[in-house]
Structure 1
């Protein structure tokens, strides 16, 4: 089985070649979408057709064109994009849901002889696609209700007693992950690590991965986050939220909890002013970017290149990325 050392190298799946998959990951507002388009355009100049595949958990929803910063037709630069706006907001798209569809999408792109470029900042999506899905049995609803009714400090104390290894890896205030780990061990009798060791369905061993993680200077990143949310307001984010609210969807759905939706919904209901919403939305965006930044710096394999840069001159970033992808 041969593997390519460059994204533009030819490959033959039937002969056993592992086809290429580029991955550009980064926190929100890091410029990864622009970099993906520039990389795709360069590959197409070299005669290789490319398809950009979305790995962002907000951009999957058709209802969030503006608030997810989904690329416009002009921003797509003539490159085909897939899995952007592919889910209706009434349907939750879990990491397992997305990975299943993304796996088929990437296989289709490879079958067409094209090069897929995966772009996004949702770490759980990326990890599930590459490493696979842990076959955790369905959680007993009674156990779930019991766990979710606990205060976070109670749940964390219980997890320290019932799955100390997992508790040692989590922050005491990480409500979601603590609850998940506790409900798994109580419902299945096995810790979450037991199931994660049995992951299946990942494509990491079936492709030649060309990864790059964008890590811009933090203060510049946060300034971009503020600018991004302000521009969303200018582009009509408020009207987008009003249309979404008119659907009367379950408030617990991911699309209703996406950054910007609760903040602007508060303006619609009269809970606070637009200025307050902008402040809240900007802060939520910065907080999210900070979490993504931390995850992407520490969680992916250490051999994945981290591209640290001070400004957002895309040509300069691409000069760094091209050698990573074997393009000289």
Structure 2
């Protein structure tokens, strides 16, 4: 790493609507940084508005990477993101820029700092067969099948968690081994201990929820419904990650006449608030090395923790 930067990278995490992107932009502008997306929904090019990706003007101010570079038809994985992030990290370092990872996807940050499990790619025919059985027989039947073949994995999963149940069954079917076993054989972290500075923005809950609600309404006003309508016309598998982005399922149901727009917005706002609550819990238990600060204290964190290059 260039002597201009005493640390290898900066990691800015936090719940949705906590002000991460603004903090990253300020730091990148001051420190000669490259902003690298660490949000699993902002990778999809189809979903700029509904996922609150940086605006074109913001992207023009400093280099941004891994935003909107994946088609919604792709089941983009954490492993694929790590491979992309490794290349971007090398490019930023070669250019003498400070890599600034920003987002709310805990698994991405854990992969950066603790490594990632080595689950092999699942053949498309296996994935399609499992999903067909899920649609035909229902999630309860699939969970029962998983319990027969991989009891340990089944016991750890919520009985209604369609995506993770299908994933665990795909892995045991394709590899003959439990997903839990693969998780124990991981890849090393991209960022070794003490090579980075990590912060988690933790707003007061009521304030955060108000910001989430206001931002969702603003996204509707900015064209999120038209964006989701274009996505819906593609007829993609509803289990794909992009099809489950917060607000997307409810807005699709509105477009089908199943909800009013206000009902869909109410569902979208509530889903986003619930997700923010899970983000607090996940980071607290899984990534204790992150420093928790309020958004108001973030500027002081910048001043004291990350020096300008010089």
- TM bucket normalised to smaller: 0.7 to 0.9
Q: 69, 84, 96: which is aligned to 1:113?
A: 96
* Contact 2:43 2:68 (C-alpha < 8 Å) held by counterparts: yes
Tell me, yes or no, if structure 1 residue 319 matches structure 2 residue 306. Answer: no
Tell me, yes or no, if structure 1 residue 303 matches structure 2 residue 289. Answer: yes
Q: 24, 27, 33: which is aligned to 1:50?
A: 33
- The alignment partner of 1:87 has SS state of coil
Question: Please, what is the CA RMSD of the aligned residues?
Answer: 3.2
Partner of 1:141: 126
Partner of 1:14: none
Give the structure with the higher percent helix. 2
Task: Report the Cα offset of residue 255 of structure 1.
Answer: 2.0
Partner of 2:116: 132
**2: CA distance, partners of 1:199 / 1:155:** 26
**CA displacement 1:288-322 (0-9 Å, x = unmatched):** 2122221112111x232122x3xx54xx4221344
Tell me, yes or no, if structure 1 residue 272 matches structure 2 residue 259. Answer: yes
**2: CA distance, partners of 1:67 / 1:182:** 31
Partner of 1:39: 27
The structure-2 alpha-carbon separation of the partners of 1:277 and 1:135, relative to structure 1 and needing over 3 Å to count, comes to closer
**CA displacement 1:210-229 (0-9 Å, x = unmatched):** 11111222221111111110
- The alignment partner of 2:36 has SS state of strand
Structure-2-length-normalised TM-score: 0.83
Partner of 2:268: 281
**Unmatched 5+ stretches in structure 2:** none
* Contact 1:153 1:173 (C-alpha < 8 Å) held by counterparts: no
* Contact 2:149 2:172 (C-alpha < 8 Å) held by counterparts: no
**2: CA distance, partners of 1:89 / 1:154:** 25
Tell me, yes or no, if structure 1 residue 87 matches structure 2 residue 70. Answer: yes
Tell me how many residue pairs correspond in the alignment. 304
**2: CA distance, partners of 1:146 / 1:269:** 23
Task: Report the Cα offset of residue 185 of structure 1.
Answer: 4.8
Partner of 2:12: 24
Partner of 2:80: 97
